[in-house]
Amino acid sequence: MIYRVMADIIVIIHFLFICFVVTGGYLALRWRKIVWAHIPAAVWGAFIEFSGWICPLTPLENNLRMKGGSLGYSGGFIEHYLIPIIYPAGLTREIQYAIGTFVVVLNIVAYWLIIRKRSTS
Condensed to tens digits (0 to 9), the pLDDT of residues 72-113 reads 666 666 666 665 654 445 677 888 888 889 889 999 999 999
The pair phi, psi for residue 91, each rounded to 5°, is -70, 130
The proportion of the chain whose per-residue pLDDT surpasses 70, expressed as a percent, equals: 82
Cβ atoms of 83 and 23 within 8 Å: the answer is: no
Report the domain count for the chain: 1
Domain limits for position 67:
2-120
Write down the pTM of the prediction.
0.74
pLDDT at 99: 82
Cβ atoms of 29 and 76 within 8 Å: the answer is: no
The pair phi, psi for residue 62, each rounded to 5°, is -60, -45
pLDDT at 88: 45
- CB burial of residue 80 (10 Å; 0-12, 13-18, 19+): middle
For residue 114, pLDDT over 70 is answered with yes
